[in-house]
A and B are shown apart, each in its own frame.
Chain A
Amino acid sequence: MSSSERDPSPVARPSRLMPLAVAGAAVLAVAGGALFYYAAITAKGPEKGVVYKVTVGEKSCEPNDLSVAAGRVTFEIHNASNRPLEWEILDGVMVVEERENIAPGFSSSLTGKLKPGTYEITCGLLSNPRGTLVVTPSASSEAERAKPPVKAFIGPLSEYRVFVATQSSALVKETAKLSEALKANDLATARAAYGAARLPYKRIESVIGRIADLENRIDGLADYLEKREDDPAFVGFHRIEYGLYAKASTEGLAPVGDALLADVTALKDRLKEIKLAPEDMVDGALRQARRLSEEAVLHGENRYSQIEAPEFAANLEGIAKSVTLMTPLVEAASADTAKALKDAIADTQAKIDALGSGSYADVPKDARDALAASFADLAKRMETIKSVLGME
């Protein structure tokens, strides 16, 4: 359903319909009444919403302060000055709508859909005083606040897609370095490369979880295999970690590195095929936070290196990315919810920072429990995103 259909205004859409309506009116001219009324208001152009006229002079605009109801609005800007000008509606430094290059003596119109808020409007010369535009809530803007239309999620989902693409490229790049170091039998470089390659993986782990076959090969733990570390199916990151830390050697790891590189490269392509819906983005991050609280934080995942804090931080970064992208929508719907989420992320980050850089084996149970509780709380708060945005 398009937003305009939800508008409470009496008429549906636009000019495209006009010839139809006019033809209809001609055929049924004698019928008058209702149809005439319909054609008349259509001709007025409901697609434009309410029309406001603004005249820009040499030094000032008339009117300089406007108040309009949220929704589709049209401004007809007349340039009464002697220079070409542009007219802009600004939200801070961001341009919300603009019309450029209006020649002297000419008018130009701008139609946009405005959200409630207070905006500034420019008025010709940059040195001229700016006006204000107050947009008051309307029935349709209130409805969209409680249940944003699909369109509102396109931006956040696109941005998340870019994030996943960027991180998966970084994963391939860092894994290639790891593979090189293994071939060169350079233990110190390989250890550093291992740590670096894990971070992009952890940032997008919530999406990778959807590709189970590759996830198992790339990030599987020995715990789940019959012969544990001696099992031939023990491959991927943790097999390399086992060699680099438990055995302090790169021996036999070169083919494991090659296979891992092939797998993360395939992963990158598979991730491109994934199409997430708005609730998937929230659910993925939410489940990730829950898994961390129930498993990884309590027991650790890097058994041999005992390096966990940077990976938890990378996980949190990925979760926070999903949350932050939804924040403008959440904030409009419920400022309290947005604040609680922000606080929960900061609290979790503080707990991760408190782990320090030493071996995770030395982190006492109560510190682990506190971090686990933080992730659990974050997951719970994320549930509320779905309710305030009408996703359930």
Chain B
Amino acid sequence: MTFKTLIGATALTLLIGSAARAETATLDLVEPIAEYKIYVTEKLDKLVEDTTAFTAAVKAGDVEKAKSLFAPTRLSYEAIEPIAELFSDLDVSIDSRADDYEKAEADPEFPGFHRIEYGLWDKKSTEGLTPVADKLLADVTELRKRINELTFPPEKVVGGAAVLMEEVAATKISGEEDRYSHTDLWDFRGNFDGAYKIVELVRPLIAEKEAEFLKTVDANFAKVDATLSKYKEGEGYVTYDKLTEEDRKVLATAVNTLAEDLSTLRGKLGLD
């Protein structure tokens, strides 16, 4: 064998090796994607129902009641965020933060959940929130309509598991999402449930081939679940400031690992 042939053969082997590793998307994904849509549809029905009650409390000037409904209402939104945020206009009007506006909280354009949150907790008042509440309810209703009509892109669904964990890592671990109410652990729960649902739905497709991967992912999910559970209070969670530094670190590590691991899920299912 000449040197040249040897090189050629090696290069060829490498290329073939790569082709064998590249996964191809199959129609086995149809069922999990359909099931996911049904899951999202149910969450949206709940979101519209809860937002109706929440905005009614805001409009009635009932600060305490509105405060008690804020976090539970957001739960369904946070669980389906990878799909909910596909519509940029509604994502902005429902869930944008003050940072996105030139004058931050003082900006008249600042809308949605966080604008109301700011009013209820920071200003302790519902003053001026009636139009914001009306707009929010109209927006989540429109979101439900659009998502019902949407054909879900499979890569966004499967990629959504990592997106949710990245979201937690970037904004919940730091407590900056719900900075006025400190109800971040509720949102965290919503993101967690949404990510876990996606893994559950695609699990049968990779159970055999990716047993080790799933074992690691499950262990980290269990760690997050157990840590979060320590902070349960009634139907929900204590405020974010009650989280110990030690648990914050445990959560941060597990969530970052999950975000990284789950980012390979698309590739494993041939959706890259």
**Once the chains bind, are B18 and A17 in contact (CB under 8 Å)?**
yes
**Distance (Å) between the CB of B1 and the closest chain A CB?**
12
Q: How many residues of A contact B (CB 8 A)?
A: 52
Partner among A31, A100, A156 whose Cβ is within 8 Å of the Cβ of B151: A156
CB pair B27 A154 closer than 8 Å: yes
Using Cβ atoms and an 8 Å threshold, which residues of chain B touch A101? 166-167, 170-171
B residues less than 8 Å from A157 (CB atoms): 27, 30
Q: Contacts A154-B154, A156-B151 hold; do A2 and B14 have CB atoms under 8 A apart?
A: no
Give the residues in chain B near A95, CB-CB below 8 Å: 85-88, 91
User: Which residues in window 130-175 of B have CB below 8 A to A?
Assistant: 151-155, 166-167, 170-171
Residues of B within 8 A of A161 (CB): 30-31, 34
Q: Quick check: is A5 within 8 A (CB to CB) of the other chain?
A: yes
A141-191 CB contacts (< 8 Å) to partner B: 149-151, 153-159, 161-162, 165
> How many A-B residue contacts, CB cutoff 8 Å?
136
Residue numbers in B under 8 Å from A361 (CB-CB): none
Check: B260 CB closer than 8 A to any chain A CB.
Answer: no
Q: Are A151 and B151 in contact (CB under 8 A)?
A: no
A33 within 8 A of B: yes
Q: Is B106 an interface residue (CB 8 A)?
A: no
In the complex, how many angstroms separate the beta carbon of A229 from the nearest chain B beta carbon?
Answer: 40
User: A35-B7, A38-B14, A125-B101 known; A13 and B21 CB under 8 Å?
Assistant: yes
A1 at the interface (CB under 8 A from B): yes
* Interface-side segment among B92-100, B186-194, B234-242: B92-100
**Residues of B contacting A162 with CB < 8 Å?**
34, 37-38
Residues of B within 8 A of A33 (CB): 7
User: A38: which B residues are within 8 A, CB to CB?
Assistant: 11, 14
Report the minimum CB–CB distance from A324 to chain B (whole Å). Answer: 9
A275 to B31, CA, bound (A): 8
Could you tell me which residues of chain B, from 30 to 89, have a CB within 8 Å of some CB in chain A? 30-31, 33-34, 37-38, 85-89
CB <8 Å contact, B88 and A90: yes
Q: Are A149 and B86 in contact (CB under 8 A)?
A: no
Q: Are B88 and A154 in contact (CB under 8 A)?
A: no
Q: Are A155 and B154 in contact (CB under 8 A)?
A: yes
* Closest B residue to A23 using CB positions: B14
Contact status of A151 and B21, CB under 8 A, knowing A28-B7, A93-B88, A162-B34: no
Q: How many angstroms from the CA of A330 to the CA of B192 in the assembled complex?
A: 37
How many B residues touch A, CB cutoff 8 Å?
51
**B6, A159: Cβ atoms closer than 8 Å:** no
In the complex, the answer to whether B10 meets A125 with C-beta atoms within 8 Å is no
On whether the beta carbons of B34 and A165 are closer than 8 Å, the reply is yes
CB distance from A42 to the nearest CB of B (A): 9
A13's nearest neighbour on chain B, judged by CB, is: B18
Pair A1/B24 contact, Cβ less than 8 Å: yes
Q: Which residues of B contact A20 (CB under 8 A)?
A: 14, 17
Q: Indicate whether A277 reaches chain B with its CB closer than 8 angstroms.
A: yes
In the complex, the answer to whether B10 meets A28 with C-beta atoms within 8 Å is yes
Contact A127 B152 (CB under 8 A): no
From residue A303, how far is it (CB to closest CB) to chain B in Å?
37
- Where the two chains meet, the residues of B that have a C-beta atom closer than 8 Å to any C-beta of A are 3, 6-8, 10-11, 14-15, 17-19, 21-27, 29-31, 33-34, 37-38, 85-92, 96, 99-102, 109, 151-155, 166-167, 170-171, 270-272
27 pairs of residues in contact across A and B, judged by CB atoms under 8 Å: A1-B24, A5-B19, A13-B22, A17-B18, A20-B17, A21-B14, A88-B88, A93-B87, A94-B88, A95-B85, A100-B166, A100-B167, A101-B167, A126-B92, A127-B102, A151-B155, A151-B270, A151-B271, A154-B27, A154-B154, A155-B33, A155-B152, A155-B153, A158-B154, A159-B151, A159-B152, A162-B37
